[in-house]
A and B are shown apart, each in its own frame.
Chain A
Amino acid sequence: MNLRIALAGNPNSGKTTLFNALTGSNQFVGNWPGVTVEKKEGRLRHHDGVTVVDLPGIYSLSPYTTEEVVARNFLVHERPDVILNIVDGSNLERNLYLSTQLTELGIPVVMAINMMDVVRKNGDRIDTAELARHFGCQVVTISALKGEGVLEAADAAIEAAQTAKPMPMHIFSGAVEHAIAHIEEAVLHDLPAEQQRWYAIKIFERDEKVKESLHIDEKLLAHMDTDIAAAEKELGDNAESIITGERYVYVAHVMKSCYKKQDRTKLSVSDKIDRVVMNRFAALPIFALVMFLVYYIAVSTVGTWVTDFTNDGLFGDGFHFLGIGRGKYEAAVTEYADETLFASETLRPTILRAVNAEVVGADEILAAIDDRDYFAFEETWGAYGPAVIEHLAHGSEATATLLTETFDAILAGAPAPDGYGAWVPGVGVLAERGLNKVGAAEWLTSLIVEGIIGGVGAVLGFVPQMLILFLMLAFLEACGYMARIAFVLDRFFRRFGLSGKSFIPMLVGIGCGVPGVMASRTIENERDRRMTVMTTTFMPCSAKLPIIALISTVLFGGAWWVAPSAYFLGIAAIAVSGIILKKTPMFAGEPAPFIMELPDYHMPSVGNLLRSTWERGWSFIKKAGTVILLATLVIWAGSKLGFTENGFGFSVDMEIADSILGRIGNAFKWVFAPLGFGSAEATVATFMGLLAKEEIVAVFGVLDFMGMTRLAGYSFLIFNLLCAPCFAAIGAIRSEMKSHKWFALAIAYQCIFAYVIAFIVYRIGALFTAPVTLLSTLGFALALLLLAGMIFLLLYPKKQTKRDK
């Protein structure tokens, strides 16, 4: 037996839940050919050779949204053996409107009425036998969430596929039927009999896509049009509205005989929740609170814990399994530190001197010493130690070396964690040990440990955090709140040429740009979607946080406003880009009008939440993993191969300045000179940021920043926050844009925008903070010109396009 069941139904009718119940874990997620709408297929449980295809949720088989086109193309061209039409029993009338269209396709249909428990609870009654008689198909009742009647529905579908003769029962009014009969006779007589009716109705509706696909002769078309026009004249409306109207009249007629509604004035639970959540005063504060919670959990607290664990434990040195032995280890280290480091009488005064001389980070080291906290000391010393030593040595290289060696010896002498309890070494450590054991060449060990494990680990380090974020988003989406957020924010986003649905990608983008860009799929309007894809990565993602933190500490003494200013910059960049881009011919026209169903609130099942979380997480891993692996290898080679005294060669200890990467940085540093950071290191760091934004901090440490002015540092921050995102996100932009032209345009726009903003800020600031020269005056003038240009573009009235009128 080889059979295909297509699942069709309205959005929010429980289709995905039913699909999961039918197929268990045998699913393949992909995209429909040519579009980014998700395609899901799975094997039916307990049956061989039966495939279930989950069609996108649709309200109708019209050709206007991507989902509708995808669903109807599949139904019409691929012709599944049977359609399992899932119908939300608590919203019968609107759902049956789609059923009237599905039963016209000439494919056997089985109607599965979902949410019967809600119907019963409301005291309503649905007469399924009567419904079956009207629609000419079998009708079963199910509860997808509880898994009740689900497999029976599938059995009914299999039986219908093998025996049922599809027979459209619904008949339009005389004039319409007359025209349809003519159309069937004139142009569709070559098609199989059961398929003719659907095509005929579509031709009657003047559906351009169907007409094109049939390649009908011009003369015949004109001839049929007189029939259609006659019907339109008789019924006093246009063809499409006639069909829609008659369908609803028919559904209302069916409802009368098979649906008994309990008279009730009581508000439903959803209405009660909406009274509060969608209240005109409370809506925004509640929304802000929910967003704060999402951010707080996914980024600040739980997210940071899991990220630290993966980065420092799994892909770092290692971790104590279940914490076994950690207490003993910490006690041993504290004891060691008390006897050596903190026993020294000269340590504190020395660091205090550095603090008094305002050496960056020295105060943090001092705090660690005062707390007698070895781990804090180790961390702060690692970051700021070199700066302190440079200060203490007064330019004497011998003193500097001596100090470095002394501290290194103390740190190296500390007890190692693997001697205590259940220590699990990190992946990199394990690999290095294994490679050393088998005697692998030095370059191979470096390639695997630093290149591959280091690079891929950097991406995978974000996965646990992403999963937490996805889980919360899945909950907000499934419970019905997400649709409300989009609705509440629509007016606000509309001012910037975006729609309320653009909010979700930007929210996800705070975690990571890759799933953020992928989340833009829910936006149906193509222009709105492209605009969202182009601007989403302006939001500072979590990989950009270390850069912000470092610059804020090193250059601005930890000023409170630096981090918020980065988010403000991101939001402003989105708003400004939205307004300006909307005035270009490519994006002209109003954003698509907002119409969106606000589904009933309900508690989602744990299984569905986990499944959706995993699906998003897995596609993130696949996307980030493959792109990053390739990029890591290139960057690794670029930083380990270079020109030393011995000529060109490989060295694991290659200095950045000597490496190929450093040379390239040196060759291109002039590009960034006008922005104030034209050093080879800053240029390399910016390039490395393309691999993963947090790499910037790895390459470009505290010492490099100290040579910069605050203004140049902030300009560096602006450019790196706004320019093209990391390769993984660039890859995501590419696949969502589905076009080389749009992809190139998006990346070019981001880079130019970042450059212009950094230029304006740096050049205008430089006039007040640096000595005035001819060059800086010219730069200032150009910056003013650019600023004026931007303001002009912002305020310049939009040209009226044909679409607008």
Chain B
Amino acid sequence: MIPLTAAVIGEENIIGQIGGEAEAKKHLADLGFVVGGTVTVISTIAGNLVVNAKGSRVGIGREMAQKIFIL
């Protein structure tokens, strides 16, 4: 498993694991980031990521993205 920050831009990936505090994890889940779900990195800017999850576009900080692992 590799962190989301290392994903190829434009490729659809499946989330394998999400780490971090329970609170942040839950917030990610509410926004559509769940284990088994898909996530696509649309672009990176200054280390932060713009990703697509469950059809919506979400901006996510690098610290957060490093805790999302893709298969």
Q: How far is the CB of A301 from chain B (nearest CB, A)?
A: 31
Contact of B64 with A270 in the complex, beta carbons under 8 Å: no
Contact of A241 with B57 in the complex, beta carbons under 8 Å: no
| Residue of B35, B45, B55 touching A278 (CB-CB under 8 A) | B45
Query: Given A241-B29, A278-B45, is A94 in contact with B54 using a C-beta cutoff of 8 Å?
Result: yes
Query: Given A245-B35, A278-B43, is A597 in contact with B56 using a C-beta cutoff of 8 Å?
Result: yes
B31 interfacial by beta-carbon distance below 8 Å = yes
B11 interfacial by beta-carbon distance below 8 Å = no
**Proximity string of chain B (7-49) to chain A, C-beta cutoff 8 Å, 1 when within and 0 when not:** 0000000000000101111111111101111000011111110
Interface residues in A60-109 (C-beta closer than 8 Å to B):
60, 62, 64-65, 90-94, 97
Contact of B45 with A94 in the complex, beta carbons under 8 Å: no
| Residue of B29, B46, B58 touching A244 (CB-CB under 8 A) | B29
User: How many Å lie between the Cα of A271 and that of B40 in the bound state?
Assistant: 13
B60 interfacial by beta-carbon distance below 8 Å = yes
Interface segment, one of A468-476, A482-490, A617-625: A482-490
Chain B residues whose CB sits within 8 angstroms of the CB of A60 once the complex forms: 26, 29-30
**Which of B47, B55, B63 counts the most A-chain CB atoms under 10 A from its CB?**
B55
Interface segment, one of A212-220, A366-374, A587-595, A669-677: A587-595
Contact of A594 with B60 in the complex, beta carbons under 8 Å: yes
Chain A residues whose CB sits within 8 angstroms of the CB of B57 once the complex forms: 270, 274, 597-600
Q: How far is the CB of B68 from chain A (nearest CB, A)?
A: 11
Contact of B48 with A94 in the complex, beta carbons under 8 Å: no
| Residue of A92, A278, A590 touching B50 (CB-CB under 8 A) | A278
Q: How far is the CB of A123 from chain B (nearest CB, A)?
A: 15
Q: How far is the CB of B24 from chain A (nearest CB, A)?
A: 6
A477 interfacial by beta-carbon distance below 8 Å = no
A596 interfacial by beta-carbon distance below 8 Å = yes
Chain B residues whose CB sits within 8 angstroms of the CB of A94 once the complex forms: 31-32, 53-56
| Residue of A91, A245, A595 touching B28 (CB-CB under 8 A) | A595
A225 interfacial by beta-carbon distance below 8 Å = no
**Which of A275, A487, A595 counts the most B-chain CB atoms under 10 A from its CB?**
A595
Total inter-chain residue pairs, C-beta < 8 Å: 120
Chain A residues whose CB sits within 8 angstroms of the CB of B35 once the complex forms: 241, 245
Contact of B59 with A483 in the complex, beta carbons under 8 Å: yes
Residues of B in contact, count (CB < 8 Å): 36
Contact of A244 with B26 in the complex, beta carbons under 8 Å: yes
| Residue of A278, A483, A595 touching B61 (CB-CB under 8 A) | A595
Chain B residues whose CB sits within 8 angstroms of the CB of A62 once the complex forms: 26-27, 30
Q: How far is the CB of A97 from chain B (nearest CB, A)?
A: 7
Contact of A488 with B45 in the complex, beta carbons under 8 Å: yes
Contact of A598 with B34 in the complex, beta carbons under 8 Å: no
Chain A residues whose CB sits within 8 angstroms of the CB of B60 once the complex forms: 593-596
User: How many Å lie between the Cα of A760 and that of B58 in the bound state?
Assistant: 45
| Residue of A97, A241, A484, A490 touching B32 (CB-CB under 8 A) | A97
**Proximity string of chain A (253-289) to chain B, C-beta cutoff 8 Å, 1 when within and 0 when not:** 0000000000000000011001100111001000000
| Residue of A244, A274, A595 touching B34 (CB-CB under 8 A) | A244
A611 interfacial by beta-carbon distance below 8 Å = no
Contact of B30 with A598 in the complex, beta carbons under 8 Å: no
**Which of B27, B35, B36 counts the most A-chain CB atoms under 10 A from its CB?**
B27
**Proximity string of chain A (52-63) to chain B, C-beta cutoff 8 Å, 1 when within and 0 when not:** 000000011010
Residues of A in contact, count (CB < 8 Å): 42
Query: Given A97-B32, A274-B43, A598-B50, is A64 in contact with B59 using a C-beta cutoff of 8 Å?
Result: no
Contact of A240 with B31 in the complex, beta carbons under 8 Å: no
Chain B residues whose CB sits within 8 angstroms of the CB of A593 once the complex forms: 20, 24, 60-61, 63-64
Chain B residues whose CB sits within 8 angstroms of the CB of A598 once the complex forms: 50, 57-59
Chain A residues whose CB sits within 8 angstroms of the CB of B50 once the complex forms: 274, 278, 487, 598
Q: What residue of chain B has the Cβ atom nearest to residue A60's Cβ?
A: B30
Chain B residues whose CB sits within 8 angstroms of the CB of A92 once the complex forms: 55
Chain B residues whose CB sits within 8 angstroms of the CB of A700 once the complex forms: none
A248 interfacial by beta-carbon distance below 8 Å = yes
Contact of A595 with B27 in the complex, beta carbons under 8 Å: yes
Contact of B22 with A240 in the complex, beta carbons under 8 Å: yes
Contact of B47 with A491 in the complex, beta carbons under 8 Å: yes
Contact of B48 with A93 in the complex, beta carbons under 8 Å: no
Query: Given A62-B30, A245-B36, is A595 in contact with B58 using a C-beta cutoff of 8 Å?
Result: yes
Q: What residue of chain A has the Cβ atom nearest to residue B44's Cβ?
A: A280
Contact of A280 with B46 in the complex, beta carbons under 8 Å: yes
Contact of B34 with A248 in the complex, beta carbons under 8 Å: yes
**Which of B27, B30, B35, B56 counts the most A-chain CB atoms under 10 A from its CB?**
B30
Query: Given A94-B31, A274-B42, A491-B47, is A596 in contact with B26 using a C-beta cutoff of 8 Å?
Result: no
Q: What residue of chain B has the Cβ atom nearest to residue A268's Cβ?
A: B57
User: How many Å lie between the Cα of A248 and that of B36 in the bound state?
Assistant: 10
Query: Given A94-B32, A278-B43, is A240 in contact with B54 using a C-beta cutoff of 8 Å?
Result: no
Chain A residues whose CB sits within 8 angstroms of the CB of B53 once the complex forms: 94
Chain B residues whose CB sits within 8 angstroms of the CB of A486 once the complex forms: 59
User: How many Å lie between the Cα of A544 and that of B53 in the bound state?
Assistant: 46
User: How many Å lie between the Cα of A274 and that of B31 in the bound state?
Assistant: 20
Chain B residues whose CB sits within 8 angstroms of the CB of A97 once the complex forms: 30, 32, 54
Query: Given A278-B50, A487-B48, is A594 in contact with B56 using a C-beta cutoff of 8 Å?
Result: no
Chain A residues whose CB sits within 8 angstroms of the CB of B30 once the complex forms: 59-60, 62, 97, 244
**Proximity string of chain A (343-385) to chain B, C-beta cutoff 8 Å, 1 when within and 0 when not:** 0000000000000000000000000000000000000000000
User: How many Å lie between the Cα of A486 and that of B29 in the bound state?
Assistant: 22
Q: What residue of chain A has the Cβ atom nearest to residue B22's Cβ?
A: A240
Chain B residues whose CB sits within 8 angstroms of the CB of A245 once the complex forms: 34-36
Q: What residue of chain B has the Cβ atom nearest to residue A499's Cβ?
A: B61
Contact of A595 with B63 in the complex, beta carbons under 8 Å: no
| Residue of A91, A248, A483, A599 touching B55 (CB-CB under 8 A) | A91
Q: What residue of chain B has the Cβ atom nearest to residue A267's Cβ?
A: B42
Q: What residue of chain B has the Cβ atom nearest to residue A241's Cβ?
A: B29
Contact of A594 with B59 in the complex, beta carbons under 8 Å: yes
User: How many Å lie between the Cα of A280 and that of B28 in the bound state?
Assistant: 24
User: How many Å lie between the Cα of A320 and that of B62 in the bound state?
Assistant: 58
User: How many Å lie between the Cα of A488 and that of B45 in the bound state?
Assistant: 7
Interface residues in A230-250 (C-beta closer than 8 Å to B):
240-241, 244-245, 248
Chain B residues whose CB sits within 8 angstroms of the CB of A595 once the complex forms: 24, 27-28, 31, 58-61, 64
User: How many Å lie between the Cα of A60 and that of B50 in the bound state?
Assistant: 21
User: How many Å lie between the Cα of A700 and that of B23 in the bound state?
Assistant: 53
Contact of A91 with B56 in the complex, beta carbons under 8 Å: yes
Chain B residues whose CB sits within 8 angstroms of the CB of A240 once the complex forms: 22, 26
Chain A residues whose CB sits within 8 angstroms of the CB of B36 once the complex forms: 245
Interface residues in A549-600 (C-beta closer than 8 Å to B):
590, 593-600
Query: Given A240-B22, A278-B50, A490-B48, is A93 in contact with B55 using a C-beta cutoff of 8 Å?
Result: yes
Interface residues in A490-547 (C-beta closer than 8 Å to B):
490-492, 494
User: How many Å lie between the Cα of A274 and that of B9 in the bound state?
Assistant: 14
Q: How far is the CB of A300 from chain B (nearest CB, A)?
A: 29
Chain A residues whose CB sits within 8 angstroms of the CB of B34 once the complex forms: 241, 244-245, 248
* With A248-B32, A484-B59, A600-B57 already in contact, 14 other A-B pairs whose C-beta atoms are closer than 8 Å: A59-B31, A64-B23, A91-B55, A97-B30, A274-B50, A274-B57, A490-B48, A490-B61, A491-B46, A491-B62, A593-B64, A594-B60, A598-B58, A598-B59
| A interface residues with partner B (beta carbon < 8 Å) | 59-60, 62, 64-65, 90-94, 97, 240-241, 244-245, 248, 270-271, 274-275, 278-280, 283, 483-484, 486-488, 490-492, 494, 590, 593-600
Q: List 14 A-B contacts (CB under 8 A).
A: A59-B31, A91-B55, A94-B32, A97-B32, A240-B22, A240-B26, A241-B34, A244-B26, A271-B42, A280-B44, A590-B63, A594-B61, A595-B28, A595-B64
| B interface residues with partner A (beta carbon < 8 Å) | 20, 22-32, 34-37, 42-48, 50, 53-64
| 9 shortest interchain CB distances as A-B pairs | A594-B61, A60-B30, A487-B59, A59-B30, A593-B64, A244-B29, A94-B54, A598-B57, A491-B46
